[in-house]
Chains A and B, each alone.
Chain A
Amino acid sequence: MIRSVGRVSLDVVEGLGDFSLFVGRSFFSVPGTRRLWRRFARAVHEQGTVCLPVVLIVGVFTGLVLGLQGYHVLSRFGSEGLLGTMVSLSLVREMAPVLAALMLIGQAGSAFAAELGIQRNTEQIAALETMGVDSVGYLVAPRLLAALLVYPFQAALFVVVGLWGGSVSGSMLLGVDSGVYWSAVDRAIEFRDLRECFSKAAVFGLLATSICAYQGFHAGLNHSASGARAVSAATTRAVVLSSIMVLVGDYIISSFFV
């Protein structure tokens, strides 16, 4: 029993160390990687343009639900006028960075982990290494840099469409005065809320993309499965671990800002 606990603990520590080295290597490889910006632009397209519809759809419906639920809770206390405050702070501080990150993990993160897993299994990563190309710099670094830019941008868009969704359900459907709603939004959001939103989004982007990259890059190397099973297992681990880490990270960052 003690031996197995010790073995698991050592595995966890070794895995964390390996992961940290991988992320460090990704950033240190940036200066030495040639034609990085072309791959960075492609990564921005994959995480930004391709994922935009899902982020917008989820943002609108989150705002609609917040407006609906918020109105019924606040009306019990005769405080419908605070609907804009509730919707905006919920979105900016929590919902936008967390839900946008989860959507990006589901779409771009899983695709990235699967792509790297297939590249590992078809020896494309080995081919890069035999050419003398830094495989981490070539494949991972542009995606990590793109995540630092795209996740905050997607969170900002999520906030905008979420506020609009809240106004549709609160003002247009349930009768809260539109001016009251938008002036409450304007009064509620402060600089520190925006800082919290963008800090969270950037950290979630870094966490999620590096976890997906690590899992895909090592598909079939650290675990017993090989071939298609290794890719599917790596993709599943990437999505589950990065989603959990986003929520853990959310709690930790919130505890600093609250």
Chain B
Amino acid sequence: MGAASSCILGIRGLSKSFHGREVLSGIDLEVPSGMIFTVLGPSGAGKSVFLKCVAGIVPPDAGAISFDGRPLGRDARAMRDFRRRCGVLFQGNALFDSLTALENVSLPLEQTTRLDKEEIQSRSLEALRQLEMEDFRDHHPGALSGGMQKRLALARAIVTQPELVLFDEPTAGLDPLRRNAVFAMIAKYQRLAGFTALVVTHDVPEALVASDRVALLEKGRIQFEGTPADFTSSTHPVVAQFRDSEAALRATIAAIRSPEPAAA
């Protein structure tokens, strides 16, 4: 793995349109290795499309992505190397219902490595143990709670000991306590395993606490990039609008409940 300050993922001029509507328009971003980098943005800003372009699931219309200094795209060997060294945690977890927890975690090792059965079993159990899921090894995903499924998906994502893990809206649909727990989980295992985490989310408070760097994606462009402290103190109007949405809501509600309407 590279040094903490080097860039593991470089993105230049990334663009993507669907049916003539531009979702990403020329995104430039550098993700330093060994840290949690969060891309914030409102719903519909193109965060998931951005992550899917990076993961190689959706082909971009234009732009270049490089991983550890090697350009991805048409180079099949570079893409294979990227897939081997990168894990993805999907928004809906994407676990296989017909497989047990242990089989789900074993799957990438079984299919992409030449390790023997015992080694695969031992590595998979270790990943489950790290995520405190070893007691549920024989459970199917359908029999697990939402939080456990998330942990199982993370165990599958880290079992190959990736250097980069992509998190697509890891807290979508969760209550505040579970959102905290998921970000705590990401921070804990990022420190333990030492991978670089690229997270896309719209949960500002949790992301600001857990991340080392943040970027704001709005209208298909990166509007801000910096540390969480920079984000908190930024006077950029788009950042302020997104960050202070709670204060804006409070003002709106106060105006609605006011005894004398503003129009009077």
Tell me the B49-91 residues at the A interface (CB within 8 Å).
52, 55-57, 80, 83-84, 86-88, 90-91
Of the candidates A34, A35, A124, A131, the one whose C-beta lies within 8 Å of that of B83 is A131
Alpha-carbon distance between A227 and B90 when the two chains are bound, in angstroms: 16
Alpha-carbon distance between A33 and B107 when the two chains are bound, in angstroms: 12
Tell me the A127-150 residues at the B interface (CB within 8 Å).
127, 129-133, 138
Q: How many residues of B contact A (CB 8 A)?
A: 22
Tell me the A98-154 residues at the B interface (CB within 8 Å).
122-124, 126-127, 129-133, 138
Q: When the two chains form their complex, are residues A124 and B56 in contact, meaning their CB atoms are under 8 A apart?
A: no
Residues of chain B within 8 A (CB-CB) of A124 are 94-96
Q: When the two chains form their complex, are residues A127 and B56 in contact, meaning their CB atoms are under 8 A apart?
A: no
Residues of chain A within 8 A (CB-CB) of B80 are 132
Taken residue by residue from 32 to 59, chain A's Cβ proximity to chain B (1 for < 8 Å, 0 otherwise) reads as: 0111000000000000000000000000
Q: When the two chains form their complex, are residues A130 and B83 in contact, meaning their CB atoms are under 8 A apart?
A: yes
Residues of chain A within 8 A (CB-CB) of B91 are 123
Alpha-carbon distance between A65 and B11 when the two chains are bound, in angstroms: 68
Q: When the two chains form their complex, are residues A123 and B94 in contact, meaning their CB atoms are under 8 A apart?
A: yes
For residue B57, which residue of chain A has the nearest CB?
A: A126
Taken residue by residue from 17 to 58, chain B's Cβ proximity to chain A (1 for < 8 Å, 0 otherwise) reads as: 000000000000000000000000000000000001001110
Q: When the two chains form their complex, are residues B83 and A132 in contact, meaning their CB atoms are under 8 A apart?
A: yes
Residues of chain A within 8 A (CB-CB) of B86 are 130
**Whole-angstrom distance between the Cβ of B162 and the nearest chain A Cβ:** 10
Residues of chain B within 8 A (CB-CB) of A133 are 107-108, 111-112
Residues of chain B within 8 A (CB-CB) of A126 are 52, 55, 57, 90, 94
Q: When the two chains form their complex, are residues B108 and A122 in contact, meaning their CB atoms are under 8 A apart?
A: no
Q: When the two chains form their complex, are residues B112 and A130 in contact, meaning their CB atoms are under 8 A apart?
A: no
Interface on B for A, CB 8 Å cutoff?
52, 55-57, 80, 83-84, 86-88, 90-92, 94-96, 107-108, 110-112, 160
- Show 22 A/B contacts (Cβ-Cβ < 8 Å), sorted by A: A33-B111, A35-B110, A35-B111, A123-B91, A124-B94, A124-B96, A126-B52, A126-B55, A126-B57, A127-B88, A127-B94, A130-B86, A131-B107, A131-B108, A131-B112, A132-B80, A132-B83, A132-B84, A132-B108, A133-B107, A133-B108, A138-B111
Q: When the two chains form their complex, are residues B110 and A122 in contact, meaning their CB atoms are under 8 A apart?
A: no
For residue A134, which residue of chain B has the nearest CB?
A: B111
For residue B95, which residue of chain A has the nearest CB?
A: A124
For residue A122, which residue of chain B has the nearest CB?
A: B92
Residues of chain B within 8 A (CB-CB) of A34 are 110-111
Alpha-carbon distance between A131 and B88 when the two chains are bound, in angstroms: 8
For residue B108, which residue of chain A has the nearest CB?
A: A131
Q: When the two chains form their complex, are residues A131 and B111 in contact, meaning their CB atoms are under 8 A apart?
A: yes
Residues of chain A within 8 A (CB-CB) of B96 are 124
Instruction: With A127-B90, A138-B111 given, name 12 new contacts (CB 8 A).
Output: A35-B110, A35-B111, A123-B90, A123-B94, A126-B52, A126-B90, A129-B56, A129-B57, A129-B83, A131-B107, A132-B83, A133-B112
**Whole-angstrom distance between the Cβ of B102 and the nearest chain A Cβ:** 14
Residues of chain A within 8 A (CB-CB) of B111 are 33-35, 131-133, 138
Residues of chain B within 8 A (CB-CB) of A33 are 111
Alpha-carbon distance between A138 and B55 when the two chains are bound, in angstroms: 20
Q: When the two chains form their complex, are residues A123 and B92 in contact, meaning their CB atoms are under 8 A apart?
A: yes
Residues of chain A within 8 A (CB-CB) of B88 are 127, 130
For residue B106, which residue of chain A has the nearest CB?
A: A35
For residue A133, which residue of chain B has the nearest CB?
A: B111
Pairs of residues from A and B, 5 with the lowest C-beta to C-beta distance, nearest first: A132-B83, A127-B94, A131-B108, A123-B94, A133-B111
Tell me the A2-58 residues at the B interface (CB within 8 Å).
33-35
**Whole-angstrom distance between the Cβ of A18 and the nearest chain B Cβ:** 16
Residues of chain A within 8 A (CB-CB) of B94 are 122-124, 126-127
Q: When the two chains form their complex, are residues B57 and A132 in contact, meaning their CB atoms are under 8 A apart?
A: no
Residues of chain B within 8 A (CB-CB) of A132 are 80, 83-84, 108, 111-112
